[in-house]
Chains A and B, each alone.
Chain A
Amino acid sequence: RKEVEQDPGPFNVPEGATVAFNCTYSNSASQSFFWYRQDCRKEPKLLMSVYSSGNEDGRFTAQLNRASQYISLLIRDSKLSDSATYLCVVGGGTSYGKLTFGQGTILTVHP
């Protein structure tokens, strides 16, 4: 079983749609959780950290369920510029600062 698993997609949605990505992780000792965004042929960039209480940043909402070892990202009112690969990332539990990356979920928002 992979340490971090995501549905690779691709997700193709129209502008204005709401889309949700899910992710599961296997290490119950994990302590930090993130969503990164990666544009084609670019480096990953931090989108948001994920907290147990859930957190929101504009159109983006992230949720964490530690009991189920599940992380989600909800994007509301999708924009063309949201087209990218979204990486679920889990850290802690073992080596200092080490992160484990999911393979990414591809999102394409079309007009």
Chain B
Amino acid sequence: DSGVTQTPKHLITATGQRVTLRCSPRSGDLSVYWYQQSLDQGLQFLIQYYNGEERAKGNILERFSAQQFPDLHSELNLSSLELGDSALYFCASSASATSGRSYNDQFFGPGTRLTVL
């Protein structure tokens, strides 16, 4: 168990809908990363938050957005869903440089499998 939790585990929805994926990082971790795993694109970085602020953006569509809340949990919002958005969405967290733990290590949650019908 990595200590990173994600809900829900599975999500089935229709095209055009909007969903929210939730992630709770390991206790004390300030960085949260979102990744998408799909058959055609592999594992891709979407976005990173650090202590509530957006730190970096990857190949994230404009229909997707994220935020990190004061309690450090994060949500990934996916809207106007298309069939191609079906994928496994992972959240990962890492420690801060001042925590005394290695900030190079990212610990992954179990993922949310999104199916768009």
Q: Do A and B bind each other?
A: no
